[in-house]
Every structure is written in structure tokens, then in C-alpha cells.
Amino acid sequence: MPPQLKTLIPLFAAFILLFLIARHFLVPVSFGEYGHYRFNSIAENKDKPMKYAGKETCADCHDDRANELKTDVHAGLSCETCHGPGQAHCDNPDSVKLIRPDQRAFCGTCHSFNPSRSKIIEQIDLKEHYADKKCIECHNPHLPWQLKE
């Protein structure tokens, strides 16, 4: 047996032993029970309060807006992407108001010019494109290609 192996074999064995000991203490008990995740996290997350209601819940009361949005480029987005978490609003619509984004910077989050962004998303230069106006003065965010008159 080469002399290097006399040194390396005990080192590899020690490394593997330390790894197994660390893994025993660091990996949660329920990890891998029903898949590649910590199974106990399901119960923990179920106990958290809901924040998002979902697009279908919004459409129950706002069917006119939902119908507009179905034919638009924003159809794939959830209402809560722009308007924020809506569960509290659904539970108490009169007292909880959602975000009504009307600032240029908000639309610019997705639509400001960025060469690395997909060309599918319409990009504008916020400093040049009607810099003195708010986006919603000309565009209905639910039907942005139809300019307001």
C-alpha cells in the first residue's frame, strides 16, 4: 500500500464520520418523510394567517375589472401583484383599502428600460416618456393598450 493512502484513508474516514454526526444534528427529524422537504413545515405554515386572497376571490366582487383584465397583457398577473395582499380587504371591504398605484415609479418597477429584461415586457424611459404625467392619466392599468381619452 502506498504511504500516502496510510494518511489519506484515516482522514477521509474522519471527514465522513464528522459529516454524518453534523448531518444527524442539523437535518430536521421530519425531513424526507414524504419528499425532499421538512414535513412538519406544512402544519407550521397552515397555522399562519392568510394574507393573499387570490385572483378568483377578487373577481367575485370586481367582475368588471376581472373581465377587462382577461383580454389584456397583464392577464397573467394576480391582482395582488399591484394592489398588495387582499385577504384583509376581502374579510372587511369597507374598512380595508388596497393599494391604488398611481406613481410612475410603481409602473417603472416592471416597465422601466432595462436591457437585461425580456423584450416581451414593454419598456419605456421614465425620464423621457411624458415625464410630467402619471401613467394612469393616459393608461388604464387593466387595459394599458387602450389610451384614455
14 in any annotated domain? no
16 in any annotated domain? no
In this structure, how many other beta carbons lie within 10 angstroms of the beta carbon of residue 63? Answer: 10
3-state helix, strand, coil in the chain (%, to 5): 45, 5, 45
Whether the model pTM is above 0.75 = no
Residue entry with cell 421530519: 30
**C-alpha 9: how far from chain center:** 48
Distinct helix (H) and strand (E) counts, the chain: 8, 2
Decide which of 144 and 34 is more confident: 34
What are the tens digits of pLDDT across the range 18-69? 999 999 999 998 998 888 889 999 888 998 998 999 889 998 999 888 888 8
Dihedrals φ, ψ of 4, to 5°? -65, -35
Range of the domain at 65: 50-99
Q: What confidence tier does 149 reach under pLDDT thresholds 50, 70, 90? A: low
Task: Write out the three cell numbers for 136.
Answer: 394612469
Containing H/E element for 143?
A: strand 143-147
Express as a percent the part of the chain with pLDDT over 70. 96
23 in any annotated domain? no
Query: Do 115 and 84 sit in the same domain of this protein?
Result: no
Query: Do 84 and 95 sit in the same domain of this protein?
Result: yes
pLDDT at residue number 103? 84
15 in any annotated domain? no
What are the tens digits of pLDDT across the range 122-141? 888 888 888 888 888 888 88
Could you tell me which residues come within 8 angstroms of residue 62 by beta carbon, excluding any fewer than 6 positions away?
79
Task: Write out the three cell numbers for 121.
Answer: 415586457
